[in-house]
Each structure stands twice: as C-alpha cells, then as structure tokens.
Amino acid sequence: MNFPTIDIIIPVYNAEKTLMRAVKSVLNQPHFGQLWLIDDCSKDNSFTLMQQLASQYPHKIQIEQMPKNVGPAKARNWGALQSQSEFIAFLDADDAYEQDALEVASSVFAFRPEISVVRLALTPVDLAERYAKHPNFDYAWQHMRMTTATNTVFRRAFFLACGGFPQDDLFAQFGGEDGALGIATTKINTVATLFKEKGVLHYCREGMHAERLLNAILFQQADTNIQPEHYQQAEAITERICHEINQLKISLNTKTGIQPLILERK
C-alpha cells in the first residue's frame, strides 16, 4: 500500500534562530510532500532565510509572505489554502519533528480512511522544573497535546470545512485559536492520538503560551487579563465550528441530484 504524503505548514514570525531546526526536521521526514513557510511580516532575518531555503530546495519548499502581520491563525490558514495535498500538518517554527513522526500519521490515514484528525506525541524539551516535577504534570500536559496546533495532522478537506483556525479578535488578543479548534474536533469527529509513537519535540522557554495553561491547571493561577466573558466567547466560537460541521453532515447525508422546489407564498 502506498502511504499518502503530507504537506507541512509552518507560520514564521521572528524565528530566524529556530527555523532551520524545524525545517531540517521536516526534510528528514519520508512522507512529506511540500513544506509551506508562511512569513507573518517578521522583523528579523526570517524571510531572508526562507528565501535561501526555497532556493536550495525548490521542489520541496514553498514560501509566502503575508502583506501585514496577521497572527498565526491566518498564516496557518493561508498555507492550508495554498496546499493541494489531501493531508496537511502544522508545525511551529520553534519546534521540530522526531524522525519518522509523519510516517505514523500517514499510516493511520492509509489504513483508517474515516479518520480526519491525527494528534502526534508532544514531548517537552527544557521545560521548567516547577512544571515537569509537579505530581499532576501528566494530567496538565494531556491538555497541551489535545489543544495545541504544532502536533496536528488533518485531512485538508475537513480542516477547511471547519473554517480553519478561528481568526476572531478574541484570539488575536489572547491566543488560543488552536485550542478552540482542537476542542471542536473532539466534539464532531474522531481524533486519533499517537502519543506512544514518534512525534513533535516542543522546545520550551519562559513566557511561552503553554505556561498560561500549565499555571492554571497545576497552580490555579488564572491569567487576570482573561475575564469570564472571554471564556464564554471562546466557547461560543467552538460551538459555532461544531454547528457548521453538523449542518454540513446533514447536507452531505441527503440524496444527491437535482431536486426542483416549489415555494408557496401566503
């Protein structure tokens, strides 16, 4: 059986120090098709590096540059629109794939055609001890593995049907668009997890977005900038994604063909 190839999408913003590591990890994957690097108007030398990589690997690396800084959600979505692959994966510019990580994802799609979302293992690297040695760390990290974008592989048609990563102003302010989509996918589809296989190395640093989640779960330290109404807005966006997919399921399950309708007006 021929395993399908997977296009990789990496949003890039001021990532010149880590981008080469991420790109090399993609080039080492036997089952990737093309790598899409989407520059989000970086202020460092990221785009220059991207141009050099595209010149070095013209048949493997495609680059795009957004006209203005739009955030990771729109950059990822733009990459998904450019790809023509049946399957796409998202990787952050400061993370890296382990060897053969995409092989296990590709095999799932080959043998389980009903699967539209795969989540790879997510291994923290250089995580602060206050998190790593906490007795409830595994429980908290499970939330990371199920909500972050960097370890996700999608059937592209399903991803686009979901509307991609939500681009609402709420997420532009606080982040978390990957969590909203991640939660929605678990409500509307089967999410295959490969947490005991090769996956993604998540390089940690002080101030990373994951700290907000870990602080809340492990130390009950909620971000004071996020108010209850913000959580309600995020939940409403997740439900919007679910509603749209459920309506699509109804449409797709009806009879095909042309059905003339007669409207009666009273």
Q: What is the pLDDT of residue 140?
A: 96
Residues forming a β-bridge with 89: 8, 153
Report how far Cα 143 is from the mean position of its chain's Cα atoms: 14
* Domain chopping of the chain, boundaries: 6-252
pTM of the model: 0.94
Using DSSP's 3-state secondary structure scheme, residue 88 falls into strand
Residue 26 tokens, joined: 């993609």
Q: What is the pLDDT of residue 225?
A: 85
User: E strands along the chain, which residues?
Assistant: 6-12, 32-39, 61-65, 87-90, 95-97, 117-120, 122-125, 152-155, 191-194, 200-203
Mean pLDDT by 10 residues, the chain (266 residues): 92 98 96 96 97 97 96 97 97 97 95 96 97 97 96 98 94 89 96 97 91 93 88 95 95 89 86
> Which of 154, 2, 145, 181 is closest to 79 using CA atoms?
154
Length of the chain: 266
Using H for helix, E for strand and C for coil, what is the string for 224-244?
CCCCHHHHHHHHHHHHHHHHH
6-252 CATH choice from 3.90.550.10, 1.10.10.10, 2.40.30.10, 3.40.50.300: 3.90.550.10
Q: Which residues, at least 6 apart from 82, have a Cβ–Cβ distance to it below 8 Å?
A: 36, 62, 64
